[in-house]
Amino acid sequence: MSKQNQWIVGVNAVASSIEKDPDNVREVLIEAGSKNARLVEIEENARRKGIDVRRVAAQALGGVAGQVRHQGVVARYAAAKLWGENELEGLVEAAEGKALLLVLDEVQDPHNLGACLRSAAAAGVTAVVIPKDKSAPVNATVRKTSAGAADRIPVVAVTNLVRCLKDLQKQGVWLYGLAGEAEQTIHQLDLRGNVALVMGGESDGLRRLTRETCDGLVRIPMPGDVESLNVSVATGVALFEAVRQRL
């Protein structure tokens, strides 16, 4: 598992992280000499929660914040622990024929990714697989939306998603992609063995190569007059159909 730090920038973002997720705030840097009441409030709240606070020059804050307006405060935040690609095989083996994987193909909205991770944790998934490129990073927003799930379940970021899917197939994992135009519904599948549910991104759904690599495509039956579900909602529905069958 790899772990790194991220920087949260600006009054509202830093105040929110201190209030809602203080365990992952490593330190707060505040502009020296500033008398801004909000900054004083942030400093006091951080110290109350045992977070290190340092007063630094505005230039130092600018160096951390880059092009983002820092408003006199930044916080160093512990990024979520990501699992390495080489660890995925062991996770599947340890599940002893009952691996349940969630694969997210280019889900780019951090709120959607966080909601997917929350559903995955509730469903007891073995691991969540995301591509390293064109996917929302597991950042502060994702962790907050996931209600801590991003730190509880293995999230594996892979360089080549299709290659990863083919490796999973070699391990005996069946891959089912969710697609609105599929003939078979998810309720007709047997989801009790080694299974990966593959969800497409917000704008284009499953990419062509991802779709072609799947063992089958399935849809969620929707008798109502709606074209498609939000990816995080669809993820929850699909995962808990698997949970229902496994129970």
**Annotated binding residue 30:** no
**Annotated binding residue 191:** no
Q: Which residues pair with 157 in a beta bridge?
A: 130
CA distance to 82, 89, 149, per residue, from 123 (Å): 19, 20, 11
Burial (CB count within 10 angstroms: exposed 0-12, middle 13-18, buried 19+), residue 114: buried
Q: Measure the CA–CA gap between 30 and 21, rounded to whole angstroms.
A: 19
- 104, 129 contact by CB (below 8 A): yes
Q: Name the percent of the chain in helix, strand, coil, to the closest 5.
A: 40, 25, 35
Burial (CB count within 10 angstroms: exposed 0-12, middle 13-18, buried 19+), residue 190: exposed
**Annotated binding residue 229:** yes
Binding residues for S-adenosyl-L-methionine: 200, 220, 229
Binding residues: 200, 220, 229
